[in-house]
């Protein structure tokens, strides 16, 4: 049923298919221009994040890298993690599982021209207030090119982040 039939039942339906297509194309152009305005990350940072994402190595199945970045205290701060996998179907339906992974720290250090701080923060989840739980992470501060960067590689994704993948009982995996 076309909109003209709903709004004006006494008028016959007329096809104006070129109008929705033209409108859709204009919306796509507008979205692209606004997306570029929204993404304030410089190109060097996007390139760094993409390269660092390749350094995650899931130990079982597959994983999806997530990240958060912002400009803070005169440098860019990036947090990276391997997202959880939500089980869909079967006896474990609805469970979220953190990914076991290795991360190539030596490969990461090669991305920095200068490292001024390298620290591993290990936190136990036992006895912690769940709302304030901070995942264990590696912290690296330094320079990528001429740019200051603080990188945190988390052992687990932040609590408020949804799953990165959904794994179905039949073995299919899809992005969440």
Write down the pLDDT at residue 10.
Answer: 44
Write down the pLDDT at residue 81.
Answer: 93
Q: What is the pLDDT along the chain (176 residues), one digit of tens a residue?
A: 333 333 333 434 444 444 555 555 666 676 665 555 566 899 999 999 999 999 999 988 788 899 999 998 899 999 999 988 888 888 888 788 888 899 999 999 999 999 999 999 987 665 455 545 568 999 999 999 999 999 999 999 888 887 777 888 888 888 87
Q: What is the largest CA-CA distance in the chain?
A: 75
Q: How far apart are CA 60 and CA 63, in angstroms?
A: 8
Task: Specify the DSSP class assigned to residue 26.
Answer: H
Write down the pLDDT at residue 155.
Answer: 92
Beta-sheet strands, E only, within the chain: 56-58, 65-72, 75-82, 85-88, 96-97, 101-103, 114-121, 137-144, 147-154, 165-168, 173-175
Q: Which residues contact 120 (CB under 8 A, 6 or more apart)?
A: 136, 137, 138, 139
Write down the pLDDT at residue 8.
Answer: 37
């Amino acid at each position: 049923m076309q909109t003209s039939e709903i709004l004006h039942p006494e008028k016959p339906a007329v096809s104006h298919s070129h109008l929705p297509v033209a409108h859709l194309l204009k919306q796509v152009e507008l979205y692209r221009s606004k997306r570029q305005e929204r993404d304030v990350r410089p190109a060097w940072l996007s390139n760094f994040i993409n390269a660092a994402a390749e350094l995650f190595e899931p130990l079982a199945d597959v994983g999806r890298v997530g990240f958060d970045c912002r400009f803070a205290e005169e440098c860019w701060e990036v947090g990276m993690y391997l997202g959880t996998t939500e089980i869909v179907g079967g006896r474990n339906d609805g469970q979220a599982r953190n990914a076991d992974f290795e991360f190539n720290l030596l490969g990461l250090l090669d991305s920095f021209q200068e490292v001024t701080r390298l620290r591993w923060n290990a936190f136990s989840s036992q006895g912690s207030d769940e709302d304030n739980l901070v995942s264990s992470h590696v912290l690296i501060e330094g320079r990528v090119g001429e740019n200051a960067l603080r990188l945190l590689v988390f052992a687990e994704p932040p609590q408020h982040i949804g799953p990165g993948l959904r794994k179905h009982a039949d073995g299919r995996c899809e992005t969440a």
